[in-house]
Structure formats: C-alpha cells, structure tokens
Chains A and B, each alone.
Chain A
Amino acid sequence: MQVVFQRPSALSDKHTHYCPGCTHGIIHRLVAEAIDELDVREKTIGVASVGCSVLAYEYFNCDMQQAAHGRAPAVATGIKRVHPDKVVFTYQGDGDLASIGMAEIVHAAARGEKITTIFVNNTIYGMTGGQMAPTSLVGQKTTTSPFGRKAEHCGYPIKIAELLSTLQGAVSVARVSVHDVPNIIKAKKAIKKAFEVQLSGAGFSIVEVLSTCPTNWGKPPLEALKWLKENMIPYYPLGEYRTPEEVK
C-alpha cells in the first residue's frame, strides 16, 4: 500500500491538549514538516514557552527546553551560543512574546541571534482563560476587557512583525495566516524559509502566524476562521516585512 499522508517525524505521537478548532495543531505540523524537509530533526533544539503551547516540548520530536514566561529567546540564545551548528527555534504565543517577553524578543532580534521564532498571534491569552493581550484588537471583548478594548484606556495592539522589521539583525520577518488552505501553504513556505535563513547563518528570523482561539473568542471554529480573516488581517497585514535579499 502506498503511504500518501503521514505524521512528520518531527512530531511525536502524543495527543495534543489543544481545543477543537484551534490552529496550533496546523502550525505545529507546518513547523515539523519544515524540519523534516530540511532533514534537521536530529540537530534541532526547540524552546517551548508559557501559554497554550507550553506542552510543545512533548509534541515536537526533537530536543526541547521549556522556558519561563517570555524568556524563550534568551533560553534559545544560551542554547545557540553553546551549539552554533544546531538549529534552534522558539515557539511563542502573543502574551508570551509581545507582552512579558518583549525585551527578550527585541534584543534577540537586535543581536541577530541565529535562531528562528514561530510567533503565534491569536490576540488573546488562551491558557489562562481569555484575558486581553497586547495584540487584542480595539473593541475586542476579553475576560479583562469585558466592554471591549478601549484605546484611550490601554492603547493600541502591537504589530510585532512591523516593529521587529526595523531592526537590522532581524533578517527575515514575515506575517502569515492559517485561516484557509492557500494561506496555510504560504505559511508553510514562510516557516521553511525562516529555518533556511537560520541555516544560512544570516541572522534572526521570525514568522508571525495569525491564529484562532475559538474557545476564548466564543466562536465555533469556522466562524473563528472568518473572524480572523475579516478582523485580524486588515489590522495585521500579511506579507514579507524583511527578507535576506533586502538585507544584502
């Protein structure tokens, strides 16, 4: 019998704890496929963060370290400096990266740390039950912005891809989405390219992946995908913000 579809070797056979309709599963798979296609599973060390993806160390079938909240880029820096020949990536959500971990991500990017960050932005703190994130949209209702996020009270959502693309060390910066199949294919390309950039030794690479949280958004999965497309993409435009060609 011909195998036409199987689990990438860079994913373990553990059942994930993610909610039905959550797009973390898709993104995990894309990362694992990229690792497989580049044939680097045995030389890859991943860093899981704090948030919904905290258990990613069980799901990726490569060496993994679990990091304190927001500190994944610092942990990855420590690993990469010890093993410059290995592939090191962080997998972080928007509460982890864009709030408590802002200093670590900015400085890892500024140093041109030769690591890859997969930044999953679903505009909310998922694991803790749906609190407002620095990426929550203006007007978005969360458990800590029950009347909708008000800009005059807590400002505007942070655009991480745009922000990091101002740093010289961030040689590869892209924003993608996984709300439909064409975009999933594009997301896969961007993630693989980010790892290729790391392998080339050019510098820091990051892919911001727009993602859904049906549970905490209070929407069925399909509606959540639609909400992402109609509300997130206008504020968080997709595309390549920085590519190695530009850097040269």
Chain B
Amino acid sequence: MAKQLMKGNEAIGEAAVQAGCRYFFGYPITPQNEVPEYMSRRLPEVGGVFLQAESEVAAINMVYGAAGAGARVMTSSSSPGISLKQEGISYIAGSELPCVIINIIRGGPGLGGIQPAQSDYFQATKGGGHGDYNLFVFAPASVQEMVDLIMESFDIADYYRNPVMIMGDGTLGQMMEPVEFKPVKKRDLPPKDWATTGCVGREHNIINSLALVAENLERHNWKLQEKYKQMKENEQRWELYKTEDAELVMVAYGTTARIVKSVVNKLREQGIKAGLLRPITIFPYPEKAFALLPDSVKAFLTVEMSAGQMVQDVRLAVNGKCPVHFCGRTGGIIPTPAEITKVAMEIMGGER
C-alpha cells in the first residue's frame, strides 16, 4: 500500500481498524478528538460499532464489557480523561482483559493545558490505578511508528491478556506525516475461551477481579507479576543512535527523542561524542539497552517534556555507574535544540 499523508490521530484510528479493532468507546477531549471522530465514520464501514459514552468513566467500562465479551476494542483520551479511566483500567488489568488505550498527553496537573507533554509517564508505567499491576506501554516517536505499534498492540494485548497503552503526546496526535499501513507479524494467539459469549454447552464464564480470600488474591497477583516478568524478558524495545563511541548518552522518548536526535548531530559537529538511547517500550523499560552501551560513556542526560519522571528509570538502569542529568520543560513547552545543547555542553565541560 502506498504512503499517504495522515494526521496522527486519524492514523491511530485506521491502524486500529486494520488490526481488527471493531469497537471503540470514547469521550471528547482535546487534543485527541480526531480519534473518536475518525472511528465514528470508519467503524460502521467495517461492521463495527463506535459509541460516544457519557463520560470517560463510562467509556472505559464499556471497553471492559466489550473486551470481556471477546472483542477487539479500543478507547482513546488525553491526560485528565485517562485519570478518570484509571479505576476501569485497574479492573481491566485485574480481570486480565485485552484492550488498547491511547493517551495523547497534554500538560497537567488538573485541567492543565492542551499543549503536548510527557508528564503522564509515572501514571502510564507504574500502574496508574490502584493495585499491583502494569500496563504494556509503547511510546512511539513518529506517526509511522505509532501506526506500526498500534497494529501490533492488539495481538500483544490478546497474547498477554493485558491492556496495552500507546503513549503519544499532543504533537504526535496533531501532526501530519506520510504513513504506510504494513501488515505486521501475527502472534500465535490462544482462543478466547474465557469470554462471555453465552454458555452454550459449557460451564458459565465469569469476568471478575474480586477475590475476597487473601491467599487467592495473592496467588492471582503473583500470576500477574509473572506476565510482567515475561514482558520484561521478551518485549523490551529501543533504538540506539550514534552510541558506539558515545561519551554522553541522551535518553529521550516520543517527540522529545526526535529533537534530541538533532541535538546529537549538533553536538557531534562541535566535537562532543553524543548518542541517543530512545526507549520504544516504556513498560517494560528497555534496561537491556543500557548494558549494550560502550565503556566510553561518561554521563547520561535524560530529556523529557515533564519535570523529571523517566529520569528515575534511567537512574535505576544506570545503577550509579555514571552521573544521570536531567533537562526538561513542562506545562506544554517543547524543549528547543538550543537549550538541550547548552545543558549537554555544560555537562561535557563547556564549549570546545
């Protein structure tokens, strides 16, 4: 299929449809409105259902119902709306239901703003709602990558019976880039014999996250942890850029990583051996990538559109071997290459 120019949010919708998503429940919130708008036109064409819920709370619970009924289902929202969905997401994770959740992040806290941000990193990667659980979280850096990852996400959700979150930001949602919808490698998926489809000729199926006996709940929680362990072993993804001889490794994901890539080139022009480590999965966090870095690395610089969230995972991965610095803008401000370059130069001993 030829490349076409598409807005990020619309590409999200098309990627989902091509991955077999037939149900979408959502609620308007800027800057992700083009996702439900696209789905409202597109899903009826393929025999699916788009439904605008009365709230984000209702939308995520419709997702729970549809996922429990065996369907491929998606919802999308932006930061305050994702906060509202957290209870439902916890139920979905607890009941081991597959679904895909899009978060086109805007600045917070509270109502915050409508400009792009990455300040929901903690919420996305550390659970988000109540209880011991994790989402599988992708952080794409281009519209094409977002499309590719979404097309895989439904299989991943089904494979692990776990919600998958795509963490984008307002920039990714709103910008237009050329995209191609390429078929992705399919995983071997077990039949959804647990779904509520009517108990014809079998025992009744129950979708549930309640376990009143503590021992049972603990057993269930260890089972969930076992899945997260498997994800950590098998699913970490990252991109390394010019790190082979790097002395300064910059760590950034999503839109910020694209800015940092140009900073890396700028620094190299000035004789500073910089490189980029770009996490593509942020849960599981790509710790393995850090082990691949050369001994030449003297320092890390984490760049985020937040007050410093992923930097904690970088520190855990680096584990005290080198200093880990941070440079961030928050509230919807996108960091400029100039300001990142300045911080990097300072770390590396000033102008050369």
Contact = CB atoms under 8 A, between A and B. Distances in A.
B58 A103 contact: yes
B197 A83 contact: yes
Interface stretch (B12-20, B61-69, B275-283, B316-324): B61-69
B97 to A, nearest CB: 10
A81 B49 contact: yes
A42 interface: yes
Contact of A76 (B25, B65, B70): B65
Nearest to A47: B65
A64 B206 contact: yes
Contact of A104 (B25, B54, B91, B200): B54
A174 interface: no
Interface string A38-75: 00011111010000001101101111111110010011
Given A42-B199, A107-B58, A64 B63 contact: no
B69 A79 contact: yes
Interface stretch (B110-118, B207-215, B288-296): B207-215
Contacts of B345: none
Interface in B6-36: 23, 25
A82 interface: yes
Interface of A: 12, 41-45, 47, 54-55, 57-58, 60-68, 71, 74-83, 86, 103-104, 106-107
B64 to A, nearest CB: 6
A77 B58 CA distance: 9
Contacts of B63: 78
Contacts of B70: 82
Q: How big is chain B's contact interface, by range?
A: 35 or more
B198 interface: yes
A71 B198 contact: no
B65 A79 contact: yes
Contacts of A54: 210
* Max count, chain B CB within 10 A of own CB: residue among A41, A60, A75, A76: A75
A78 B198 contact: no
Given A74-B53, A82-B23, A66 B210 contact: yes
Contact of B91 (A43, A58, A68, A79): A68
B62 A42 contact: no
B221 interface: no
Contacts of A68: 61, 64, 87-88, 91
A75 B68 CA distance: 9
B71 A62 contact: no
Interface in B47-89: 49, 51, 53-55, 57-59, 61-71, 73, 87-88
Contact of A83 (B61, B88, B198): B198
B167 to A, nearest CB: 23
A60 B206 CA distance: 10
Nearest to A103: B54
Contacts of B87: 68
Nearest to A40: B198
B318 to A, nearest CB: 39
B236 interface: no
Nearest to B66: A78
30 contacts: A43-B200, A45-B198, A57-B206, A58-B206, A60-B204, A61-B199, A63-B206, A64-B204, A65-B207, A66-B210, A68-B91, A74-B53, A74-B57, A74-B61, A76-B65, A77-B58, A78-B66, A78-B67, A78-B68, A78-B73, A79-B66, A79-B69, A79-B196, A81-B23, A81-B62, A82-B71, A82-B73, A83-B197, A104-B57, A107-B54
Nearest to A81: B49
B210 A83 contact: no
A96 to B, nearest CB: 13
A75 B64 contact: yes
A81 B199 contact: no
Contacts of B91: 67-68
Interface in B167-215: 196-201, 204-210
A65 B199 contact: no
A185 B153 CA distance: 51
A65 to B, nearest CB: 4
B71 A65 contact: no
Q: Closest 6 A-B residue pairs measured CB to CB?
A: A78-B65, A74-B61, A63-B196, A78-B66, A75-B65, A78-B62
Contacts of B205: 63-64
A74 to B, nearest CB: 4
B274 to A, nearest CB: 47
B62 A63 contact: no
Contacts of B65: 47, 65, 67, 74-80, 82
Given A42-B199, A43-B198, A62-B199, A78 B25 contact: yes
A103 B55 contact: yes
B350 to A, nearest CB: 55
Contacts of B209: 66
Nearest to B209: A66
Given A79-B66, A81-B49, A81-B66, A65 B198 contact: no
Given A71-B88, A81-B23, A63 B198 contact: yes
A65 B197 CA distance: 11
Contacts of A81: 23, 49, 51, 62, 66
A79 to B, nearest CB: 4
B96 to A, nearest CB: 13
